[in-house]
Amino acid sequence: MSYGGADSSYVFSGGYGFGASATIFFDQGGYYSRKIYGIRLEGIYARHNQSYRIFPGSGKIDPDVFYSYRLKMSYIDVPLLFTLCPTHHQGLTVEAGPQISFFQGARSVIQEEKNTLGSVPFASNAYFKPLTFSVIGGAGIYYSFSESFALTGTVRATYGLSNLLNPGVMQTSVSPRNRLILGIYAQAVYKINKYDAKKNKGYKHYLKRIRK
């Protein structure tokens, strides 16, 4: 195949993040209810990496002539999530809610050059919106080790409602322009109320014992 000008391919997208969260849970039906719900506020530093491979020149592509670079973007994400624990802090959890993100910076770096010299596009911070919005949905597992400590693991999907770029910005390497994320989130939990889910089997269990 022949192409006019350079051809590019999008070869990698990934990243990492870390932060802290606070959750307030409410019992539905009192202490012996198995179902509880809560509100969680998080603060996460997130780094997103996108890699591109460029085949310079025009005409037929030569697979042995290319260069690649990586675009690195960082954000402070602040999700506000509604969370539901149908099994009272021991088992399945589901969560959903909005997220506001504060842009921290972006830069491009060369990764690989093969039989050509690479040209890294300029990633100006002025290209990006300082504030963007997303929606989140996820499900996972909550496991209590004791009255004070627990561990959670969640598969979470994030869909960006905002274009990452400022209006009028035409030349950019951001693809896609909205944040689309599927990630695994793990949290170590300290419970201030020191509630032990293992000691509470739900109101139906205690009602059955009383009837016996």
Sign of CA dihedral 90, 44, 68, 60: positive
**Element holding 63 (H helix, E strand):** none
Q: What is the mean pLDDT of residues 19-26?
A: 78
Please give the pLDDT value at position 212: 61
Distance CA 165, CA 208 (A): 59
Give just the sign of the alpha carbon dihedral 27, 29, 33, 37: negative
Q: Give the whole-angstrom CA distance, residue 149 versus residue 155.
A: 21
Comparing 59-68, 77-86, 198-207, the range with the smallest average pLDDT is: 198-207
Task: Tell me what percent of the residues of the chain surpass a pLDDT of 70.
Answer: 74
**Which of 119, 123, 87, 125 is CA-nearest to residue 105?**
125
Three-class SS state of 162: coil
What local confidence, expressed as pLDDT, does residue 77 receive?
94
Whether the Cβ atoms of residue 88 and residue 37 lie closer than 8 Å to each other: no
Please tell me which residue, 205 or 102, carries the higher pLDDT value: 102
Listed ranges 34-48, 63-77, 96-110; the one with the highest mean pLDDT: 96-110
Identify the DSSP state of 187.
E
Structure tokens at 211: 């009837």
Closest CA to 75 of 56, 48, 109, 103: 103
- Paired with 23 in beta bridges are 40
List, in order, residues 6 or more apart from 187 with CB less than 8 Å away. 21, 151, 152, 154
Structure-model confidence comparison of residues 174 and 127, the more confident one: 127
Enter the tokens of residue 25. Answer: 């849970």
Residues 6+ apart with CB under 8 A from 193: none
The whole-number pLDDT of residue 89 equals 64
